[in-house]
Structure 1
Amino acid sequence: MSADTPRVLVVEDERDLADLYATWLSDTYHVRTARDGHEALEKLDSDVSVVLLDRRMPDISGDDILDAIQDRDLDCRVAMVTAVEPEEDIIDMRFDTYLVKPVTRDELERTVSNLLVRDEYDEGIQRLFSLASKKALLEAEKEPSTLEQSEKYQDLLDDIDQLRAELDDKLARIDAADDLTAVYRDLEADDRRD
């Protein structure tokens, strides 16, 4: 592997699971593992491109580590990989995607790969991906009637609409052949399928 190979930090307090994730990813990426929150904070630096973060750990929660990533202004993508079923609290959290354990090797590899692709786009597109991921997750896990009554979910929909409108303005100024335009069209096509 070259020095340019992306670095993935696996934060998982279950030793066997952390080792398994590292084994799955180590052929493609430089992998660091942290088995508790303190170790995660020590290994978290600007070299890390993707963090796979468990929410429940005995010393420092994944939520607190997520806050530390923001406080340190680190430019990395974050996937919450956890047994914690998603609730509305995820709407306010600054992660890119959320996986509920157990996860397969293909799912984990695809997630890391997708997060690295997202990293190539500007902040607005990254935020749209994140919001759309939260929307899809909540819609898969919660009853429509529950979501209709949720103020946070309605705010999420409003945020998505507002961000899309802002991006539409930006995209109007970008050449139609640009890769970003194709990505945005894919997002719209996915939305129409819902």
Structure 2
Amino acid sequence: MTDGTPTVLVVDDESQLADLYAAWLDDKYDVETAYGGPEAVETIDDRVDVALIDRLMPRLSGDDVVRCVREEGYGCRVAIVTAVEPDFGIIEMGFDEYVVKPVERRDITTVVGSLVTRTEYDEKLQEFFSLASKRAALQAEKSRHELEASVAYGELTAEFERLRRDLKRTADEMTGRDLEIEMQRVSAD
């Protein structure tokens, strides 16, 4: 998220479908489209926060695109959006969500929103652990008096506590939202 607006890459060999998903998302996200696997591999980079990838595409399947994304080390969240019912082969795939077509606007916006939240959570979690490590190292080496006298340590501790509260709030929201989504899925079955 370079400017604060998450970037979503929509990948589908059916251009009308890719454009439809993009239209559903473009009011809230920076959206890019790729009309097939090879174009997706050329387009994806570190700017992408979430990728919606069709599984069945000619020349380079969604499975191959996901494998490439993970091998290249891109940290984006990936949702497979496909007409293929899941089988046990999905266990080894590196995606975060699996959505079976046909889908509605609400399905796409909910999945992307959830994956963006997870991305933000991960970024905050990484920063939190970095601050925790710095804080612990200073606490192990400095006296209580030295720590209390340090403005920088006070700022670090304040940021650590702010992130801890943010992470707890985000985790609570995610748990509630993910539970609600799962309940809706179970109710639909």
Q: What's the offset of the Cα at 1:122?
A: 4.0
Q: What's the offset of the Cα at 1:121?
A: 2.8
Paired residues for 1:39-54 under 5 Å? 39-54=39-54
* Structure 2 residue 57 is matched with structure 1 residue 67: no
Q: Which runs of 4+ in 1 moved over 2 A?
A: 120-123, 177-190
TM-score by length of 2: 0.66
Deviates more, 1:30-39 or 1:114-123: 114-123
Paired residues for 1:93-112 under 5 Å? 93-112=93-112
Q: 1:27 maps to which residue?
A: 27
Structure 2 CA distance for partners of 1:186 and 1:63, relative to 1, 3 Å: same
How far apart in 1 are the matches of 2:110 and 2:177? Answer: 17
Deviates more, 1:114-123 or 1:67-76: 114-123
How far apart in 2 are the matches of 1:189 and 1:112? Answer: 16
User: Helix, strand or coil: the match of 2:8?
Assistant: strand
Q: 2:83 maps to which residue?
A: 83
Q: 1:182 maps to which residue?
A: 172
How far apart in 1 are the matches of 2:90 and 2:3? Answer: 34
Q: 1:14 maps to which residue?
A: 14
Structure 1 gaps of 5+ residues are: 126-173
Q: What is the RMSD of the two structures over their aligned residues, measured on CA atoms?
A: 2.7
Structure 2 gaps of 5+ residues are: 126-163
Q: By percentage of residues, which structure has more helix?
A: 2
How far apart in 1 are the matches of 2:108 and 2:48? Answer: 17
Q: What's the offset of the Cα at 1:185?
A: 6.3
TM-score by length of 1: 0.65
Q: What's the offset of the Cα at 1:187?
A: 9.0
Structure 2 CA distance for partners of 1:188 and 1:107, relative to 1, 3 Å: closer
How far apart in 2 are the matches of 1:108 and 1:187? Answer: 15
Q: What's the offset of the Cα at 1:118?
A: 1.1
How far apart in 1 are the matches of 2:119 and 2:68? Answer: 19
How far apart in 1 are the matches of 2:34 and 2:173? Answer: 33
Percent identity reads 46
Q: What's the offset of the Cα at 1:15?
A: 1.2
AA aligned opposite 1:100:
V
Q: Which has the larger radius of gyration?
A: 2
Q: What's the offset of the Cα at 1:36?
A: 1.1
Structure 2 CA distance for partners of 1:10 and 1:180, relative to 1, 3 Å: closer
AA aligned opposite 1:54:
D
Structure 2 CA distance for partners of 1:106 and 1:187, relative to 1, 3 Å: closer
Structure 2 CA distance for partners of 1:87 and 1:45, relative to 1, 3 Å: same
Preserved contact between residue 114 and residue 174 of structure 2 (Cα < 8 Å): no
- Deviation digits for residues 2-47 of structure 1 (CA, Å, limit 9, x no counterpart): 9321111000000110111111111111111111111101110000
Paired residues for 1:104-143 under 5 Å? 104-122=104-122
How far apart in 1 are the matches of 2:179 and 2:56? Answer: 35
